[in-house]
Structure 1
Amino acid sequence: MEPPTGLPSVEDMTTVTASAEPAQATILRQLGVDSAYVLLGFPLALASFVILIAGLALGVGLMVTVIGLPILAGTLYLARGWADIERLRIPAVLHQPRVRPQYRSAETGASAWRRIFVPIADGQSWLDLAHGLGKLVVAVVTFVVTVVWWAGTIGGSLYWAYDWTLPQGDGNEGLNELLGLGDSAGARIGLNSAIGLFFLITLPIVVRGCALLQASFGRTLLTGVAEMRNRITVLEEQKRAAVSAEASALRRLERDIHDGPQQRLVRLAMDISRAQHQLATDPDAARRTLDEALTQTRDTLAELRALSRGIAPPILVDRGLPSALAALAGRGLIPVELTVDPELGTPVGRLDPAVENAAYFVVAEALTNVAKHSRATECWLTVTRADRKLSIAVVDDGEGGAHLSKGHGLAGIADRVRATGGTLTVISPAGGPTEVRAELPC
Structure 2
Amino acid sequence: MTTDTLVMPSATAAPPHAGLLRRLLVDSGYALLSLPVGIAAFVVAVTGVAVGVGTVVVWVGLAVLALTLLAARGFAALERAQLPAVLGHPVPRPAYLTPDGGRVRRLLTPLRDPQSWLDVLHAVARFPLAVLAFVVTVTFWALALGGITYGLWDWALPQEGNEDLFELLGFDGGTPLRIVGYTAIGLVAAAVLPFAVRAVALLQAQLGRVLLTSRAATQAEIGRLSRGRDAAVAAEAVALRRLERDIHDGPQQHLVRLGMDLSRAQRQLERDPAAARTTLAEAGVLAKEALEELRALSRGIAPPVLADRGLPAALAALAARSPVPVELAVDLPDERPAPVTENTAYFVVSEALANVAKHSGAGVCRVEVRRAGDVLRVVVEDDGEGGALLVPGHGLAGLADRLRAVDGVLAVDSPRGGPTRTTAELPWA
TM bracket, shorter-chain basis:
0.7 to 0.9
Contact 1:400–1:433 (CA under 8 A) maintained in structure 2? no
- The residue type paired with residue 404 of structure 2 is R
In structure 2, distance between residues paired with 1:182 and 1:391: 77
In structure 1, distance between residues paired with 2:173 and 2:194: 32
- Structure 2 match to 1:159: 150
Unaligned runs of 5+ in 1: 1-8, 276-281
In structure 2, distance between residues paired with 1:208 and 1:82: 22
Q: When the two structures are superposed, what TM-score results if normalisation uses the length of structure 2? A: 0.73
- Structure 2 match to 1:127: 118
Task: Give how far 1:154 is off.
Answer: 2.0
Q: Structure 1 residues 63, 416: closer, same or farther in 2, change over 3 A?
A: same
In structure 2, distance between residues paired with 1:54 and 1:434: 67
Unaligned runs of 5+ in 2: 266-271
- The residue type paired with residue 77 of structure 1 is L
Counterpart secondary structure, 2:425? strand
Query: Of residues 181, 196, 206 in structure 2, which corresponds to 1:216?
Result: 206
In structure 2, distance between residues paired with 1:70 and 1:325: 66
Asked whether 1:102 is paired with 2:128, we answer no
Tell me the alpha carbon deviations over residues 248-300 of structure 1, each in whole angstroms, 9 at most, x when there is no partner.
5466567657766788899999999999xxxxxx9999999999899789867
Structure 1 segment 167-316 matched on structure 2, within 5 A: 167-168=158-159, 170=161, 172=163, 174-175=165-166, 178=169, 183-246=173-236, 248-249=238-239, 252=242, 306-307=296-297, 309-312=299-302
Task: Give how far 1:200 is off.
Answer: 2.4
Contact 1:417–1:438 (CA under 8 A) maintained in structure 2? no
Query: Of residues 80, 83, 88 in structure 2, which corresponds to 1:87?
Result: 80
Q: Structure 1 residues 345, 386: closer, same or farther in 2, change over 3 A?
A: closer
Asked whether 1:413 is paired with 2:414, we answer no
Counterpart secondary structure, 2:108? helix
Q: Structure 1 residues 296, 92: closer, same or farther in 2, change over 3 A?
A: same
In structure 2, distance between residues paired with 1:85 and 1:183: 51
In structure 2, distance between residues paired with 1:29 and 1:356: 47
- Structure 1 match to 2:425: 440
Contact 1:403–1:426 (CA under 8 A) maintained in structure 2? no
Task: Give how far 1:140 is off.
Answer: 0.9
Structure 1 segment 25-64 matched on structure 2, within 5 A: 25-64=18-57
Q: When the two structures are superposed, what TM-score results if normalisation uses the length of structure 1? A: 0.71
Asked whether 1:403 is paired with 2:396, we answer no
In structure 1, distance between residues paired with 2:18 and 2:334: 35
- Structure 2 match to 1:117: 108
Structure 1 segment 341-360 matched on structure 2, within 5 A: 345=331, 347=333, 355=341, 357-360=343-346
Aligned-residue Cα RMSD (Å) equals 5.1
Counterpart secondary structure, 1:210? helix
Q: Structure 1 residues 152, 399: closer, same or farther in 2, change over 3 A?
A: closer
- The residue type paired with residue 421 of structure 1 is D
Q: Which moved more, 1:39-48 or 1:160-169?
A: 160-169
Q: Which moved more, 1:197-206 or 1:34-43?
A: 197-206
Task: Give how far 1:151 is off.
Answer: 2.0
Q: Structure 1 residues 392, 24: closer, same or farther in 2, change over 3 A?
A: farther
In structure 1, distance between residues paired with 2:44 and 2:129: 18
Contact 2:258–2:287 (CA under 8 A) maintained in structure 1? yes
Q: Which moved more, 1:235-244 or 1:323-332?
A: 323-332
- The residue type paired with residue 118 of structure 1 is T
- The residue type paired with residue 25 of structure 2 is G
In structure 1, distance between residues paired with 2:16 and 2:109: 48
- Structure 1 match to 2:269: none
In structure 1, distance between residues paired with 2:332 and 2:15: 34
Q: Structure 1 residues 106, 194: closer, same or farther in 2, change over 3 A?
A: same
Q: Structure 1 residues 119, 235: closer, same or farther in 2, change over 3 A?
A: same
- The residue type paired with residue 404 of structure 1 is P
Query: Of residues 137, 141, 147 in structure 2, which corresponds to 1:150?
Result: 141
Task: Give how far 1:19 is off.
Answer: 12
Q: Sequence identity of aligned pairs in percent?
A: 46
Task: Give how far 1:353 is off.
Answer: 6.7
In structure 2, distance between residues paired with 1:358 and 1:182: 81
Tell me the alpha carbon deviations over residues 148-207 of structure 1, each in whole angstroms, 9 at most, x when there is no partner.
2222222233334434444446462524872x7652444434433333333323322222
Tell me the alpha carbon deviations over residues 378-422 of structure 1, each in whole angstroms, 9 at most, x when there is no partner.
6877879989875857685256676112xx323421221211334
Query: Of residues 354, 374, 385 in structure 2, which corresponds to 1:368?
Result: 354
Q: Which moved more, 1:62-71 or 1:209-218?
A: 62-71
Q: Structure 1 residues 294, 133: closer, same or farther in 2, change over 3 A?
A: same
Contact 1:320–1:345 (CA under 8 A) maintained in structure 2? no
Length, aligned pairs only: 421
Task: Give how far 1:139 is off.
Answer: 0.9
Q: Structure 1 residues 58, 170: closer, same or farther in 2, change over 3 A?
A: same
